[in-house]
Amino acid sequence: MADSSTTARASWAPMIALFLAQILMSYNVSALPVTLGGMVDEFGVPPTDVSTAIVIYGLAVAALVMVGAKVGQRVGWVLIFRIVIALFAASGLLMIFAPVVGWVIAAQAIAGASAAIIVPSLVALIAENYQGRQQETAIGSLGSARALAGVTAFLLGGTLATFVGWRPVFAVVVLVAVAVFILSFKFVSVKGNPAIHIDVVAAVIIGLGIIALTLGVNNLNAWGILQARDSAPFDIFGLSPALLLIIVGVVLVQLFFLWTRRRTRQGKVPLVSLSVFGSSRERAAVYAMFIVVALEAALNFTVPLYIQIVQGRTPVDTSLAMLPFNLTVFVTAIIVVRFYRRFSPRVIGTFSFGLTTIALIWLSFVVTNNWETLPTILGLFVFGVGQGALVTLVFNVLVTASPKELAGDVGSVRGTTQNLASAVGTAVAGALLVGLLAGNITAALAAHPELPDEAVAQVPLDSVNFVSNDRLRDVLAGTDLDQTQVDAAVEVNEQSRLSALRLGLLILAGVSAIAIVPASRLPKFKPGEVPESVATGDLPDEIAAAEKSLAADES
């Protein structure tokens, strides 16, 4: 890569557009948990219905981003970028005027489909507009943009949602999209290549695989983990369709890799180049990225759930509670780049996952139904340090390990991984907490003799979901339970929620600890050294042979 000293410095105007585009997507996702309480109250639906919109967004991006990368190469990154930014603005308008929760879900599906092209375009347009140290700076800024969007969503979005309403929160999406569209005319013109062929078979296989995986995970609690529940749409020999969808998804993903290898050996252009996964280091970066984004999504769903639904507090309270975490992620994402010349990615990654593990274990012991206590803030701060370092680190490892020609493929892999992880993290957090809550309530009811069976039949705890104490008291006021029994039911609800939260955080800590394994396989190189990866041209034999064959055919 050419150094900045030997190349003319390019204008930062295109990077401002790309920076805002990253903020646009991240703000949209972060704003959904902040406005969760307002949507639940206005539409009269359970919080899990609103969380479906979050899952749908991530699902659309993850399922379509690989196709989006090829569409960008074929049509031209600048033209397609402007089109999808306009569509993202349209999704914001749908959110503002949504009469029912179905419109919210549809709006997020449109936003997700648009982001499926925006995500790979960010990397591709950086590669086309910047070189040398400017390119390094531009790549690093995407991680800080994502973190800044989280802070903005919780502060600005929380304030708007509390004092104005949840709908104006998404007016920001429209305004940012308009600004990005205008600034996009500063891009270096990148023409499309009509000769690019989209591998439709691979697109269908990976799309269906990701949809099956996400739907399966998202409905584990509703449809059953092993045995099908009554709420399941169907069952096969009594087995839950959620489990079957997960199995089908795993099989389809494996089939996608088999098909892609076969197509590459035949000298045909694959949907995504497997050389992006050319070494254990790149694969380790992908695994690490998936886990760290899933953990972040789980926490971003859990905290607003407890503050707005359980405690019945405002979005501003949510913003203040999440501020230590989001601000720390933003600052760390910027500062961690300074450590790249002193410590290897392997050291930083392992240390950072150690921090997130310690933070989650700490939170599982000190957390209460009040998120503003000093021990809880300290735990969120430590988790934010680890999270911010990891998000920037693993993305940089992927980008710097691949040549410019694979910029779109790297972007699509990043988008698939991040958005699938976000959808899975949100879905698993919901299923895990509700599942733990159900078990806790069953055990707690058995331990309260003042709640006989006829009284339990009137307590709406068997429909297990997260409700506030005030909400539960209002419901129980319409029953013939006496005050002692009402107090006992509220105590069961409160203690069961807290136990579910603590055990859920402990399980997430276990996942974080497991992530230290892939982090230990990140490259040891420091900036200035040449990594042992596809950047050196050292491709796997079958890929190198296929590329030579393809080059011969084209000549």
Across 108-122, 395-409, 413-427, least confident range: 395-409
Residue 248: what pLDDT?
Answer: 93
- Selected residue with higher pLDDT from 98 and 501: 98
Give mean pLDDT, residues 277-282: 68
- CA dist 287 and 421 (Å) reads 10
Q: What is the 3-state secondary structure (H, E, C) of 274-342?
A: HHHHCCHHHHHHHHHHHHHHHHHHHHHHHHHHHHHHHCCCCHHHHHHHHHHHHHHHHHHHHHHHHHCCC
Any alpha helices (H) in 219-277, and if so which ranges? Answer: 220-223, 241-265
The percent helix, strand, coil of the chain (3-state, each to 5) is: 75, 0, 25
Q: Which of 28, 11, 18 shows the shortest CA–CA distance to 183?
A: 18
- Selected residue with higher pLDDT from 318 and 527: 318
Q: How far is CA 545 from CA 159, 197, 205, 526, 549, in A?
A: 57, 20, 25, 30, 6
- Selected residue with higher pLDDT from 110 and 74: 110
Confidence band of 399 (pLDDT split at 50, 70, 90):
low
Q: Which of 435, 31, 412, 431 shows the shortest CA–CA distance to 214?
A: 431
Give mean pLDDT, residues 308-313: 69
- CA dist 364 and 501 (Å) reads 7
Q: Which of 435, 48, 384 shows the shortest CA–CA distance to 224?
A: 435
Confidence band of 88 (pLDDT split at 50, 70, 90):
very high
Confidence band of 541 (pLDDT split at 50, 70, 90):
very low
Give mean pLDDT, residues 78-107: 92
Q: If you search the block for the tokens 């690093």, which residue do you land on?
A: 140
pLDDT at residue 455 above 80?
Answer: no
Backbone angles phi, psi at 197, to 5 degrees: -110, 135
Across 93-97, 384-388, 435-439, 461-465, least confident range: 461-465
Percentage of the chain beyond pLDDT 70 is 75
pLDDT at residue 446 above 70?
Answer: no
- CA dist 100 and 52 (Å) reads 14
Task: Report the range out of 78-92, 254-268, 395-409, 539-553 with the highest average pLDDT.
Answer: 78-92
Task: Report the range out of 69-83, 143-157, 533-547 with the highest average pLDDT.
Answer: 69-83
- CA dist 308 and 312 (Å) reads 5
Give mean pLDDT, residues 431-444: 65
- CA dist 166 and 162 (Å) reads 8
Give mean pLDDT, residues 323-352: 81
Residue 5: what pLDDT?
Answer: 43
Residue 293: what pLDDT?
Answer: 86
Mean pLDDT over the full length of the chain: 77
Residue 366: what pLDDT?
Answer: 85
Percentage of the chain beyond pLDDT 90 is 14
Task: Report the range out of 42-56, 138-152, 308-322 with the highest average pLDDT.
Answer: 42-56
Residue 437: what pLDDT?
Answer: 67
- CA dist 256 and 269 (Å) reads 14
Q: What is the DSSP string of 381-417?
A: HHHHHHHHHHHHHHHHHHHHTS-GGGHHHHHHHHHHH
Confidence band of 353 (pLDDT split at 50, 70, 90):
very high
Q: In this structure, are residues 255 and 213 in contact, taking their beta carbons and an 8 Å threshold? A: no
Burial 411-431 (b: 16+ CB within 10 A, else e): bbbbbbbbbbbbbbbbbbbbb
Interhelix angle 101-129/132-152, rounded to 10 degrees, is 160
Residue 369: what pLDDT?
Answer: 67
Residue 388: what pLDDT?
Answer: 84
- Selected residue with higher pLDDT from 547 and 83: 83
Residue 82: what pLDDT?
Answer: 93
Interhelix angle 407-446/280-304, rounded to 10 degrees, is 40
Residue 325: what pLDDT?
Answer: 78
Task: Report the range out of 32-46, 277-291, 377-391, 410-424 with the highest average pLDDT.
Answer: 377-391
**Distance linking the first and last C-alpha atoms of the chain:** 26
Residue 179: what pLDDT?
Answer: 94
What pTM was computed for the model? 0.70
- Selected residue with higher pLDDT from 167 and 73: 167
Angle at 403 between CA 402 and CA 409, to 5 degrees: 65
